[in-house]
Amino acid sequence: MTRRSAEAIAVLIRKGWNVHHPPYGYTTMTEAGVQSRRGTPRTRLTPNPRHAAVVQDIFYWREVTGLSVEHLTARVDADPGRYPPPGIHTAWPPAAVIAVLTNIKYADYQPTGTRDEHGAFGPVEQRVPSDQPVHRALITSALFWAAQNPTTSMQQIPHHLVRRGHRGGGPVTEKANVGCSRKELT
């Protein structure tokens, strides 16, 4: 990807447009009258009712019980009717659970700069969130950050990462630090 196209995608993401496949727990909603240069409609994320509850459960179990990725995977695999696996999988792979736990989109921000030029996840410092919340959150920002380290309770999150006043008074993360490495989760 060229630098110019990467900058154009970053501008779209900062404005809240979804430019990738929706993550598990969301589907896309087309905005009427808004199109790309190619004529394809622009989309935003909207919760998928069946899968959104699964995402919420995974974060809750991670933060409240401190379950490891392996235990979370076993728990969702135990009841595929209640916790349907993502995509075409017949069971939850651990990588899918990690993908849920590391995706800031669930706290209603659209990040950019998450992958490097080879498609691998890039450093956290290079991730840039949208200017403001852009879609309905499935979890609070405080729960997202607490789930990054299951030994940390919601009360122990550094105060500078959480502020009040977001949709009904819930917590919101500051724009710095929008994720953690996948290696820190296992």
Beta strands, E only, the chain: 26-35, 41-47, 162-166, 170-173
147's tokens: 């789930």
pLDDT at 87 over 80: yes
24's tokens: 């598990």
157's tokens: 């999150």
The CA distance from 85 to 108, in Å, is 22
The CA distance from 91 to 109, in Å, is 28
- Percent over 70 (pLDDT), the chain: 68
Q: Which of 36-45, 71-80, 157-166 has the highest mean pLDDT?
A: 71-80
For 75, list phi and psi in degrees, rounded to 5: -65, -45
pTM of the model: 0.71
pLDDT tier at 49, thresholds 50, 70, 90:
very high
pLDDT at 179 over 50: no
The CA distance from 64 to 150, in Å, is 7
